């Protein structure tokens, strides 16, 4: 049997010689490449080599730049807001931000941090990247391309700082991520922005038929549906109606109606109409536009003021029966009422107001709520009251037992029974007392017993005064007023 031969192993000296020869060849090729080819051609060749020799990956990366040229990239902002809700508790670095106008601290993920997420079983990863300005080789002749945000042709200078977010996932899920996951991020970001939004109160004014202007302040009114001294059933009905209104954009579009809702709040003074408006604004995060009809110069001014309101807003016209004496659609001014303030005659018509509410001009905006308040519903023109103008009529009644329990919890921090409650509730049942009157009594001392004793005396005194003033009142009229006060429900 012939002996098997093996190739002779190279000696260390031969390996060193081959390495030196290869290094010399590479250096020679590099020198010739740099000397014979212009810089632009060298860059093109190197990029082509990198592209074709780059190993193919199964991952796809989507890049969300902070800016698109000089314009802010909404997708970057939405992704950043969304990822704040996905921060890993084990993260080692976080960014903390807060603007002067914000009341809260923002916690965001920091540079080079990676956040894992999943969507419909698809695993994705997010990375925040910040590229610091880098000096380019050469002179100082670089210029900034303002269209793209990048530095121009390479004669030196600094490249601008770049911030972007990378989203990586398997390529086969590209359509699902782009068509479903990204729209979900936009929707979630909008919800987060609405939660952080500072509600504004705008005062619309117009004089002499001019375009008018608006003055704005933050709405710091703390009223919410939890703190309203209102019948629980009525609260739930209002909240359900608001929620239904918010989600029916496509419904309003399909039936050909403007996406708006009209409310009429009526009842005696001090029953919480303004507090309900503030609670609605705080619940929806809608700005309030307060319109004083006595300052409106005419129909044209009314239309111009309408254009100054924004989407997702509440237009409020308070005490419409007292603020101005509206002429009817024929131009005839109704008989003067004692509560109507004296002053100049109105220069706009009821037709102009109706067109402002539900005519063509009412379509200048989406997701709007119009609220009228009055102490005397019966004094309003029937044309104002029909559905489409005032869709929901809410009677703001006198204080009820449930309303008193809410006030006791708010002002006295009493969430259970107190021995004074039985007597107080009996007095409330047979008395017309407003939430504002009772709230004023609850603020007179920090001692709960002293406050409740004072409230009992106040209710008894009110009852005595009312009994004395009722000597000439017909019993049937009294019973009808009590029934109206106890009704306290929404009439759709």
**Rounded to the nearest 10 degrees, how much is the dihedral formed by the CA atoms of 176, 179, 180, 186?**
140
Q: How confident is the model at residue 485 (pLDDT cuts 50, 70, 90)?
A: very low
Mean pLDDT confidence for 335-354: 54
pLDDT of residue 337: 46
* Model confidence at 280: pLDDT above 70: yes
- Predicted local distance difference test score (pLDDT) of residue 361: 59
The pLDDT of residue 216 is 81
- Does residue 108 register a pLDDT over 80? no
3-state percent breakdown (helix, strand, coil) of the chain, nearest 5: 45, 20, 35
Question: Alpha carbon of 7 to those of 4, 10, 354: distances in Å?
Answer: 10, 9, 103
Determine the 3-state secondary structure of 309 from DSSP. coil
Nearest CA-CA partner of 353 in 374, 370, 375, 340:
370
Q: Which residues of 336-359 are buried (b: 16+ CB within 10 A; e: fewer)?
A: eeeebeeeeebbbbbbbbbbbbbe
Tens digits of per-residue pLDDT, 26-69? 787 777 767 777 777 777 777 776 666 666 678 899 999 988 87
Mean pLDDT for all residues in the chain:
77
| Contact in structure between 409 and 226 (CB atoms under 8 Å) | no
* Sequence-distant (≥ 6) Cβ neighbours of residue 396 within 8 angstroms: 265, 266, 267, 268, 271, 272, 273, 276, 488
3-state secondary structure of 73: coil
Q: Of residues 398 and 487, which shows the higher confidence score?
A: 398
Chain centroid to CA 373: 25
Q: In the structure, how many helices (H) and strands (E) does the chain have?
A: 17, 20
| pLDDT-based confidence at residue 141 (cuts at 50, 70, 90) | very low
**Cα 372 to Cα 389: distance, rounded to the nearest angstrom:** 10
pLDDT for 95 beyond 50: yes
The mean per-residue pLDDT over the stretch 310-337 comes to 65
Percent of the chain with pLDDT over 90: 21
Condensed to tens digits (0 to 9), the pLDDT of residues 444-481 reads 999 999 999 999 999 888 888 777 666 555 555 545 54
Over residues 236-257, mean pLDDT: 91
From CA 145, how far away is CA 304, in angstroms rounded?
A: 41
Q: How confident is the model at residue 487 (pLDDT cuts 50, 70, 90)?
A: very low
Predicted local confidence at residue 5, as pLDDT: 60
Query: What average pLDDT does the segment 285-311 reach?
Result: 79
| Residue 142 CB neighbours (<10 A) | 18
Q: Which residue spans of the chain are classified as CATH 3.40.50.300?
A: 197-395
What does the block give as tokens for 457? 């005396």
SS3 track for 44-61: HHHHHHHHHHCCCCCEEE
Of 68-77, 212-221, 318-327, where does mean pLDDT reach its minimum?
Answer: 318-327
What's the pLDDT at 136? 60
Q: What is the pLDDT of residues 220-245, one digit of tens each?
A: 888 999 999 888 899 999 999 999 99
Average pLDDT over residues 397-414: 90
Which of 294-308, 365-379, 417-431 is predicted with the least confidence, judged by mean pLDDT? 294-308
Predicted confidence at residue 16, as pLDDT, reads 74
DSSP-assigned states of every residue in 431-461: S---HHHHHHHHTS-S-HHHHHHHHHHHHHH
Q: Which CATH superfamily is domain 197-395 in?
A: P-loop containing nucleotide triphosphate hydrolases (3.40.50.300)
| φ/ψ of residue 379, rounded to 5 | -85, -5
Mean per-residue pLDDT, 10-15: 72
Q: What is the pLDDT of residues 164-209, one digit of tens each?
A: 899 999 999 999 999 999 999 998 888 887 777 788 898 877 654 4
User: What was the pLDDT predicted at 150?
Assistant: 47
């Amino acid at each position: 049997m012939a002996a098997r031969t093996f190739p002779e192993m190279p000696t260390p000296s031969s390996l060193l010689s081959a390495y030196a020869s290869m290094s010399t060849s590479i250096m020679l090729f590099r020198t010739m490449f740099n000397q014979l080819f212009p810089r632009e051609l060298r860059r093109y060749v190197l990029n082509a080599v990198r592209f074709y020799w780059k190993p193919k990956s199964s991952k796809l990366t989507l890049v969300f730049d902070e800016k698109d040229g000089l314009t802010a990239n909404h997708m970057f902002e939405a992704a950043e807001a969304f990822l704040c809700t996905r921060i890993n508790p084990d993260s080692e670095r976080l960014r903390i931000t807060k603007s002067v106008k914000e009341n809260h601290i923002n916690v965001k993920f920091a540079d080079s941090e990676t956040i894992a997420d999943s969507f419909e079983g698809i695993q994705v990863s997010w990375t925040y990247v910040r590229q610091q300005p880098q000096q380019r080789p050469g002179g100082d002749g670089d210029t900034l391309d303002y269209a793209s945000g990048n530095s121009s042709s390479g004669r030196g200078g600094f490249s601008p700082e770049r911030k972007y977010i990378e989203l990586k996932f398997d390529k086969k899920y590209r359509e699902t991520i782009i068509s479903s996951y990204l729209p979900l991020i936009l929707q979630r970001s909008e919800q987060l922005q609405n939660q952080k939004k500072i509600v504004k109160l705008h005062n619309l004014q117009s004089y002499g038929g001019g375009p008018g202007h608006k003055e704005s302040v933050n709405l710091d009114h703390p009223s919410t549906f939890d703190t309203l001294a209102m019948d629980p059933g009525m609260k739930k009905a209002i909240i359900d109606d608001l929620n239904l209104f918010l989600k029916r954009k496509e419904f309003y579009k399909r039936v050909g109606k403007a996406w708006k809702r009209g409310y009429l709040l009526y009842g005696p003074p001090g029953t919480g109409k303004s507090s309900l408006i503030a609670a609605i604004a705080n619940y929806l995060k809608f700005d309030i536009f307060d319109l004083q009809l006595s300052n409106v110069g005419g129909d044209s001014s009314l239309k111009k003021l309408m254009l100054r309101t924004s989407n997702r807003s509440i237009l409020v016209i308070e005490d419409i029966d007292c603020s101005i004496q509206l002429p009817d659609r024929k131009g005839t001014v109704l008989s003067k009422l004692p509560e109507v303030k004296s002053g100049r005659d109105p220069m706009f018509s009821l037709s102009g107001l109706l067109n402002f509410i539900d005519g063509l001009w009412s379509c200048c905006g989406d997701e709007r709520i119009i609220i009228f308040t009055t102490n005397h519903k019966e004094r309003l023109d029937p044309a104002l009251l029909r559905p489409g103008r005032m869709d929901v009529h809410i009677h703001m009644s006198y204080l009820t037992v449930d309303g008193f329990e809410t006030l006791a919890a708010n002002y006295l921090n009493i969430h259970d029974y107190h021995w004074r409650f039985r007597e107080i509730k009996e007095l409330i049942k047979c008395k017309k007392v407003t939430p504002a009157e009772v709230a004023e009594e609850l603020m007179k001392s920090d001692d709960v017993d002293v406050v409740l004793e004072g409230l009992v005396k106040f209710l008894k005194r009110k009852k005595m005064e009312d009994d004395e003033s009722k000597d000439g009142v017909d019993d049937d009229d009294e019973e009808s007023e009590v029934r109206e006060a106890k009704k306290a429900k929404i009439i759709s």
